[in-house]
Structure 1
Amino acid sequence: MMGQLSLDAYSITTDPLLPWPLIAGLGALLLILALFGFWRHAHGSMLRFLLGAVLIAILFNPSIIEEQRRYQKDVAVVLVDRSPSQALEHRTDDANKAMTELKQKLARFDDLETRIVESSGGSDPAEKGTELMEALHRALADLPPNRVAGSILISDGQVHDAPTDGKDPAINAPLHLLMTGNPDAGDRRLMLTEAPSFGLVGKNVEVKLRVDDLGREAEADGTATISISRDGVAMPSQDVRIGQEETVQLPLSHGGQTVFQFAVNDGPEELTRINNSAVITVNGVRDRLRVLLVSGEPSPGERTWRNLLKSDPAVELIHFTILRPPAKQDATPINELALIAFPIDELFNFKLKEFDLIIFDRFQHLNILPDEYFHHIVDYVEGGGAVLEVDGPSSAGQFSLYRTPVEEIFGATPTGEVLTGGFRPSLTDLGRRHPVTADLLPPDLANDASAKTNPNWGRWFRQIAATSSRGTTVMTGLDGLPLLVLERVGKGRVAQLFSDQIWLWSHGFEGGGPHAELIRRIGHWLMKEPELEEEDLRTAVVDGRLEITRQSLSTDLPTITVSRPDGTEDHLQLKDAGRGHATATVSAPLPGLYRVSDGQRQAFAASGSLNSLEFRDPRANAAPLTPLTKASDGGIFSLTKQTIPDIRRIAAGGEMAGNGWLGLRQNRDYVVAGLRQVPLLPIWLALGLALLLLLLTWRREGR
């Protein structure tokens, strides 16, 4: 058993030659004999006691251990804030100057090591703000706590991950802030306090916003002007009161994404214009799709159309069937042919424009509808309406819809011939690029050259022969004749399907086909849904990258120009992705509005959070770090109001900050590099001393 007593770099240890109980017994016996001698006043009692003590000490075998200590340098961490807000004013220059002077001042201390860390503020400053504490924790992670002298932050003080209560277990040494920027500066800020993500087409959406003059709240008065643009097109500006929440009404004119951009005029003081603007994306959805289905003689296809339209809760369907055959010539009034008088005049004279889509299914013109109504349908389409015409045998003859004024809106005309025989509908070259039909083929057949003449679909057995003078033929049938023709007429759209046998697909005949998807796509194209535009340019920011998609019937690949929020431009080359799509991607690290152009069309994408946390309050402010600096006994120093503070090494427990100086803790931490053991009582010295005491005792007792 060994014992040890620490004396700075030295310690005394024992290695007994006999067991401790035996040595203790001998010691006790020696003490008893000494006390008895002292009580009897015997001669030489003291010398005999000393002689016994020396012998007991020899049995303890004491030695001195000398520690060879190697003192470790303390570490001071200098964390430099390089977040976006540090680019304002002269903050970058202040930070660089402070870092240079700190290096020089810290280099004077031989027992101090400096670790300089620069942080960009985290992975997403716009969403999460400046996260300097995370960077500081990483810098301290591999350091023993008793080697940390302290931390010095060079920042504007806008740190968004600092604990509000000042408690941070990772920080056990003084934390000092050297604050860049002018804390007395002001700034104008635009914030969107409430913004919808979707709205109804044709209706207004409400956006709530607020304009503040930071640093001048007591003087806030008057109004500011908000400029608004929709998909890059300017809208009327609006005046709002400063310091109060205001509501702005914004109209949605089409389905899909609409990008709104807001900007406020400069305030009396401006640190940055980044927070003077904001961008939102609103998805336009249709409340109800009102469809008018006009059927001729009953057929299996009529049930298919009705079932598909009724299965969609967003569709409001009005359906009527004309049952009067042309051979029936009697004097029965038209209003007596129905159990309930149908409001034909109200529909075609007054409410026609309330419908989003009109479908004529195997319609026969039996002179029930006067030509005036057909003229209204033409005006309806040219004004922006949509018509889908499905031909059957009875609609190709003398009672055809093409023998009415509606003929002028159709790009293809039936010849009157009804073709029979099995055929598989196939896509034309344009149909393989058109968004209505391009995705009908499964992926494994999409790029197969044989798929366009022999797709894996069930056969149809009847087609109305037609000739096409205009429009886009996307599907063909027997003998390569037009089967599905799409056309734009004025502001509206028209689709023609020259067969009434799509119902075979719905019944799964020979495996069926994509009847539901085809009908849905035709309807959405007629409704001008943006994702089904033949010529379209779309873009979106996904995971920090701008993804660009161009849809076109042309195979040309134009150069894309990307305008970033900071005004810089990139020029990209598109890559063909098949099915009429061409794509390109580029990094999009900056928050704000990105504009994309192919020379003819423009697209917009918003990046970043609704209100950037990094620039929500860009003023220099020590408040977020004040609890932490106080809890760690650190100090706060403004670089715009005073020079770089002097640096002092302070022993643990002392004051760590004062007027014009900051302290770094002096730990004097060390590691033991080696040990040297020296006998405290060498054996020759111990025996000599014992012999001397023995002689003195013998002489004293011999008198």
Structure 2
Amino acid sequence: MTVLTDIALAPLVPVWLLAVLAGIMAALAAVSLWRRARGAWVRLVPGVALLIALANPQGLTERRTPLDDVAVIAVDESFSNGLGDRPAQTAAALDALNRALATQPTLDVRVVPVPDGGADRGTRLMEAVQRALADVPPGRRAGVIALTDGRVHDAEAVGAAALGTPLHVLLTGARDERDRRLVVEAAPAYGLVGRTLTATVRLEDPGLAPGTPVPLAVTRDGRPAGDVVVPANRAETVTLPVEHAGDNVFELTAEAVPGDLTTANNGAALTVNGVRDRLRVLLISGEPHVGERVWRNLLKADANVDLVHFTILRPPHKDDSTPLRELALIAFPIRELFEEQLENFDLVVFDRYSRRGLVPLGYLANVADYVRAGGALLLAAGPEFTDPISLYDSALADVLPITLTRAVVEQPFRPLPTTDGRRHPVTAGLPGLEGGPDGTPDWGPWARLIEVRPTGGRTLLTGPGGRPVLHLARSGEGRVGLLLSDTAWLWAKGYAGGGPQAELLRRLAHWLMKEPELEEDALRARMTGAGLTVTRRGLDPETMPETVTVTDPLGDRRALALTDQGDGRAVATLAADRPGVYTIDDGTLTTVAVVGTPNPRETSEVSATADLLRALAEASGGGVHWLAEDGTPAVRRVLGAQATHGPGWIGLRDNRAFSVAGVDQTPLMPAWLALLAMLGGLGWAWWREGR
């Protein structure tokens, strides 16, 4: 296609010369007119013809190639637009649009899928549109058609001016959809272990009158934890208990109702980091000795531990009649410790303690009851444990998992891990465990061992002849630990290379106080750089599960194979691409993990809406149409400032865009025409003057 677009001059002589000639001709014409000479105007004709010929006017003709306008169809493929009849509505509308636009010869149609945004960014429809139009100048943009339910999370990311073309929104879904959803309006990030926390939630259900009571099922770390009742469509405060340190994942779920769009948002989750207020430890040292300082330093080094420490100063063979109260620096508060305050301690440690009338048998029975009720007891035994007045000869024997032989092995030995010890989190992976030349621990020796025979529990470290050195057991709801040597302090002194004394005793104390990370039979999951890492820990390889079942936030289940690490752990990693709460089950244990936010944007609100995109559509010149009510609108091409939408139709601009392939120049006064004009002008002037 060629179009005359301009006229330009290509002078045959310099422009100044043209100006001089024009001035001379104008002066001669002025003199002739002043004298009123006959044919003064006619004499100008050949001069003007000469000037035009010398100016050499050219006609500019562009060779134009029409360019296609670009229309974008953004197809919402997010979770919310996959509910109910929305996929069918989307597919039918897309098919109708493709058939209608295929008949347009100067229109390039770009279909852009819009999936869920990563990292809980929701549906980023306008970002997808901007990327599709990034290489299209405004003069070629015909329009944007969005097939969506309206749940777009970047509607304000671009303005109508930046869009530069009409936006037409074709909504899936219906105006009167019912979607029950639970929203966590406020919740603390931290909570004290053993206390309760309050969270504010709101159950939204358009099918219920405000205030209608609705029960919510509560789970904590994947296990049922009772129900709470909240009023519909009103904010309500609920109370939740924090039972352990670390992440406490609570899920509150309302039952599905008929007509509910999805159950994915019927529940909400919140993660609360449980922190211990203060760990209270009671340490009773039966006599001053070198290892006593080890226990004190260990417990005092932990800023989260409140240590109450008493040392019995009376020598075991003192035979004078000095009253015990006069030997003590302060009065030993037996009643306060073993009756009034006992249940407030998280751990009771008897370090080389023997009964000498200081703690009555009734109070030791209280300690046994304290263990059965969930307390923790650690005995660090020395030679005094073999005496007839040892703690074994009291009510504590009922909670101790051993039989005492009353023999002391006086010889150096290196503590060796048992099969259980290599898998138990208290001793597994201790520094130097595999450091020896023959695969034995690279640890220094201890010097003495108290001989016992286990009647329950598990032995983690052994000494000469396989005798137990470190033995752990559960008793009732509580836990008991026995360290059957009083020479562990040799490691702290670095004797013969020393050993991981501080780490061993720290793990031992925290296992007794039920630190979740030190549970020997546990299922855990957490996000790492590689994805969702699932760890199953157990002491018996034969009973360890080979797979776990992972349920993602949308309810999809998959089996995940575990790989045994040989140290009591079996590990698997899953690429978790959906934010929300994942549930992991091995048939015996269940745990949960939160990936990203526990309540992702894409599932929090799923009812169709026109509110989010209406302002942008109207500002750009487009409109909003409900597919369920109006069907797929007809498509027209419109020019200039014409309306771009109306009842039952939408318009795409016809910009008549083109590119210029070349420009041709055509002389408007060729030489023969100039000569003819000059000769004709001279002849006319001669004829006029001759009359």
**Scaled by the length of structure 2, what TM-score is found?**
0.92
Worse-superposed segment, 130-139 or 185-194: 185-194
Query: Structure 1: which amino acid aligns with 2:597?
Result: S
User: Aligned match of 1:93 in 88, 91, 100?
Assistant: 88
Q: Residues 281-307 of structure 1: CA distance to partner in whole angstroms, max 9, x if unpaired?
A: 333332222211111221121122112
2:139 is matched with 146
Q: Residues 463-514 of structure 1: CA distance to partner in whole angstroms, max 9, x if unpaired?
A: 4455545432222345654322222223222222222233333344555432
1:94-109 alignment runs, 5 A limit: 94-109=89-104
Separation in structure 1 between the aligned mates of residue 480 and residue 382 of structure 2, nearest angstrom: 17
1:681 is matched with 669
User: Aligned match of 2:263 in 273, 278, 287?
Assistant: 273
User: Aligned match of 2:106 in 111, 118, 126?
Assistant: 111
- For the residue of structure 2 that corresponds to 1:348, the secondary structure is helix
Separation in structure 1 between the aligned mates of residue 82 and residue 281 of structure 2, nearest angstrom: 57
User: Aligned match of 2:53 in 33, 55, 58?
Assistant: 58
Report if the CA contact (8 A) 2:216-2:228 is conserved.
Answer: yes
- For the residue of structure 2 that corresponds to 1:170, the secondary structure is helix
1:501 is matched with 487
Separation in structure 2 between the aligned mates of residue 85 and residue 600 of structure 1, nearest angstrom: 34
Report if the CA contact (8 A) 1:137-1:170 is conserved.
Answer: no
Q: Residues 231-254 of structure 1: CA distance to partner in whole angstroms, max 9, x if unpaired?
A: 343333232222221111222333
- For the residue of structure 2 that corresponds to 1:684, the secondary structure is helix
Separation in structure 1 between the aligned mates of residue 262 and residue 451 of structure 2, nearest angstrom: 67
Report if the CA contact (8 A) 2:581-2:598 is conserved.
Answer: no
1:71 is matched with 66
Provide the alpha-carbon RMSD of the alignment. Answer: 2.8
Q: Does 1:45 align with 2:40?
A: yes
Shift of 1:332: 4.1
1:4 is matched with none
Worse-superposed segment, 412-421 or 60-69: 412-421
- For the residue of structure 2 that corresponds to 1:270, the secondary structure is coil
2:511 is matched with 525
Shift of 1:119: 0.6
2:576 is matched with 588
1:440 is matched with 430
Q: Residues 523-574 of structure 1: CA distance to partner in whole angstroms, max 9, x if unpaired?
A: 1110112211111111235579432101122334522222344444322221
Worse-superposed segment, 26-35 or 104-113: 104-113
Worse-superposed segment, 243-252 or 328-337: 328-337
Report if the CA contact (8 A) 1:213-1:267 is conserved.
Answer: no
Shift of 1:181: 1.2
1:12-27 alignment runs, 5 A limit: 12-27=7-22
Q: 1:673 to 1:339 in 2, by over 3 A?
A: closer
Separation in structure 1 between the aligned mates of residue 136 and residue 583 of structure 2, nearest angstrom: 48
Separation in structure 2 between the aligned mates of residue 502 and residue 18 of structure 1, nearest angstrom: 112
Query: Structure 1: which amino acid aligns with 2:28?
Result: L
Q: Residues 69-94 of structure 1: CA distance to partner in whole angstroms, max 9, x if unpaired?
A: 01111111111111111122311111
Q: Does 1:131 align with 2:124?
A: yes
Q: Residues 630-664 of structure 1: CA distance to partner in whole angstroms, max 9, x if unpaired?
A: 21111111112112222222112222222222121
Separation in structure 1 between the aligned mates of residue 597 and residue 247 of structure 2, nearest angstrom: 17
Separation in structure 2 between the aligned mates of residue 471 and residue 336 of structure 1, nearest angstrom: 42
Report if the CA contact (8 A) 1:505-1:515 is conserved.
Answer: yes
Query: Structure 1: which amino acid aligns with 2:574?
Result: V
Report if the CA contact (8 A) 2:3-2:61 is conserved.
Answer: no
Worse-superposed segment, 56-65 or 689-698: 689-698
Report if the CA contact (8 A) 1:544-1:588 is conserved.
Answer: no
Q: Does 1:259 align with 2:245?
A: no
How high is the sequence identity, in percent, across the aligned residues? 44
1:538-553 alignment runs, 5 A limit: 538-541=524-527, 545-553=531-539
Separation in structure 1 between the aligned mates of residue 424 and residue 168 of structure 2, nearest angstrom: 64
1:303-382 alignment runs, 5 A limit: 303-382=293-372
- For the residue of structure 2 that corresponds to 1:275, the secondary structure is coil
Separation in structure 2 between the aligned mates of residue 655 and residue 168 of structure 1, nearest angstrom: 16
- For the residue of structure 2 that corresponds to 1:374, the secondary structure is helix
1:283 is matched with 273
Shift of 1:221: 4.1
Report if the CA contact (8 A) 2:161-2:620 is conserved.
Answer: no
Separation in structure 1 between the aligned mates of residue 631 and residue 329 of structure 2, nearest angstrom: 96
Separation in structure 1 between the aligned mates of residue 210 and residue 316 of structure 2, nearest angstrom: 79
Q: 1:610 to 1:520 in 2, by over 3 A?
A: same
Separation in structure 2 between the aligned mates of residue 139 and residue 561 of structure 1, nearest angstrom: 40
Q: Does 1:577 align with 2:560?
A: no
Shift of 1:55: 1.5
Shift of 1:405: 4.0
Separation in structure 2 between the aligned mates of residue 688 and residue 295 of structure 1, nearest angstrom: 132
Shift of 1:32: 1.1
Report if the CA contact (8 A) 2:3-2:63 is conserved.
Answer: no
Aligned residues: 688
Q: Residues 117-158 of structure 1: CA distance to partner in whole angstroms, max 9, x if unpaired?
A: 11114224xx33322111111111111110001111111122
Query: Structure 2: which amino acid aligns with 1:513?
Result: G
Worse-superposed segment, 20-29 or 37-46: 37-46
- For the residue of structure 2 that corresponds to 1:9, the secondary structure is strand
Q: Does 1:453 align with 2:448?
A: no
Query: Structure 1: which amino acid aligns with 2:171?
Result: M
2:238 is matched with 248
- For the residue of structure 1 that corresponds to 2:541, the secondary structure is coil
Q: Does 1:210 align with 2:202?
A: yes
For structure 2, the residue ranges without an aligned partner over 5 or more in a row are none
Query: Structure 2: which amino acid aligns with 1:314?
Result: N
Query: Structure 2: which amino acid aligns with 1:517?
Result: E
Report if the CA contact (8 A) 2:211-2:234 is conserved.
Answer: no
Report if the CA contact (8 A) 2:195-2:242 is conserved.
Answer: yes
Shift of 1:408: 4.2
- For the residue of structure 2 that corresponds to 1:504, the secondary structure is helix
Separation in structure 2 between the aligned mates of residue 10 and residue 306 of structure 1, nearest angstrom: 97
Separation in structure 1 between the aligned mates of residue 388 and residue 160 of structure 2, nearest angstrom: 88
Q: 1:10 to 1:354 in 2, by over 3 A?
A: closer
Q: 1:567 to 1:163 in 2, by over 3 A?
A: closer
User: Aligned match of 2:659 in 650, 654, 671?
Assistant: 671
Separation in structure 2 between the aligned mates of residue 451 and residue 343 of structure 1, nearest angstrom: 51
Query: Structure 1: which amino acid aligns with 2:308?
Result: I
Worse-superposed segment, 664-673 or 461-470: 461-470
Q: 1:168 to 1:304 in 2, by over 3 A?
A: farther
Separation in structure 2 between the aligned mates of residue 470 and residue 225 of structure 1, nearest angstrom: 44
Separation in structure 1 between the aligned mates of residue 586 and residue 624 of structure 2, nearest angstrom: 53
Report if the CA contact (8 A) 1:473-1:482 is conserved.
Answer: yes
Shift of 1:268: 7.2
Report if the CA contact (8 A) 1:296-1:322 is conserved.
Answer: yes
2:619 is matched with 631
Q: 1:645 to 1:599 in 2, by over 3 A?
A: closer
Separation in structure 2 between the aligned mates of residue 15 and residue 564 of structure 1, nearest angstrom: 76
1:536 is matched with 522
Worse-superposed segment, 636-645 or 368-377: 368-377
Q: Residues 557-598 of structure 1: CA distance to partner in whole angstroms, max 9, x if unpaired?
A: 522222344444322221123432111122434455433222
Report if the CA contact (8 A) 1:401-1:407 is conserved.
Answer: yes
Q: 1:568 to 1:180 in 2, by over 3 A?
A: closer
Report if the CA contact (8 A) 1:188-1:269 is conserved.
Answer: no
